[in-house]
Amino acid sequence: MLALELPSRSAPLKILCLGSHSDDIEIGCGGTILRLLSRDANLEVVWTVFSSTKEREQEARDSADLFLTQAKRREIIIEHFRDGFFPFDGSEIKNFFEGLKRISPDVIFTHTRKDAHQDHRLISELTRNTFRNHFILEYEIPKYDGDLGQPNFFVPLDQDIYEKKVHYIVNTFATQRGKRWFEKETFLALMRLRGMECVAPSGYAEAFYCHKVVV
């Protein structure tokens, strides 16, 4: 299959990453961010987490620092909207999105619209609602509810990249280790399946839903 690349140019590519909770961006698109940065450090990344406690905020900042080490410029925004209550705090969150319009991103990573978690769905909806003429990739998060579907946009990951992703996640988010699903096998298993689906040379990939693309 013909592989498409993001355009290379002299101006930095602006990437906006949106995640409801402090580990969502890493799980959903951490490998893709690492791959983009390994090929071209001329990226400006705005990394936005909508919900956190004091402890989880520190984990989110530590993790973003690890994933974005090579980025030319990075801005990390950690908000404190109530975990689990996003649809009920929607007007405040929509106001926050209005402020994100200043960024004018080239690529946006956000939750997928069919995600079973209510916080994830709201962030996905407000992403499309706010950014009307943008390249948006919707990432997936494995969970108890079993909402995985058929993504249509694949990013193969070399071994050093997918191993680094899992290592960073498992080692940084200490508050999540008590959750039964939060272990490296879960993250590797999903990437292995997506790698199989896109015939990734390493066998591993991340996958996204892309609803509109212009070439």
**SS3 state of residue 155:** strand
Toward Zn ion, which CB reaches closer, 117 or 194?
117
**SS3 state of residue 182:** coil
Toward Zn ion, which CB reaches closer, 26 or 106?
26
Q: Out of 24, 26, 106, 206, point to the residue binding Zn ion (CB under 5 A).
A: 24
Pairing of strands 73-78, 43-49: parallel
Give the residue at shortest CB distance from Zn ion: 21
How far apart are alpha carbons 140 and 209 in whole angstroms?
8
Toward Zn ion, which CB reaches closer, 147 or 197?
147
Toward Zn ion, which CB reaches closer, 21 or 164?
21
Q: How far is the CB of 200 from Zn ion (least distance, A)?
A: 25
Q: Out of 13, 16, 20, 78, point to the residue binding Zn ion (CB under 5 A).
A: 20
What's the chain's Rg over C-alpha atoms? 16
Q: Which stretches of 114-179 are DSSP H helices? A: 118-130, 159-172
Q: Which long-range contacts (CB under 8 A, 24 or more apart) does 31-34 make?
A: 31/155, 31/157, 31/161, 31/162, 31/165, 31/191, 31/204, 31/206, 32/109, 32/137, 32/155, 32/157, 32/206, 32/208, 33/67, 33/68, 33/109, 34/67, 34/157, 34/161, 34/164, 34/165
Using CB under 5 A, which of the segments 4-12, 23-31, 33-41, 129-137 binds Zn ion?
A: 23-31
Site size toward Zn ion (CB under 5 A) is 3
Q: Is 21 in the site for Zn ion (CB under 5 A)?
A: yes
Using CB under 5 A, which of the segments 24-32, 42-50, 73-81, 173-181 binds Zn ion?
A: 24-32
Using CB under 5 A, which of the segments 17-25, 52-60, 179-187, 200-208 binds Zn ion?
A: 17-25
Eight-class DSSP state of 13:
E
Using CB under 5 A, which of the segments 20-28, 89-97, 144-152, 188-196 binds Zn ion?
A: 20-28
Q: What residues make contact with Zn ion under the rule CB under 5 A?
A: 20-21, 24
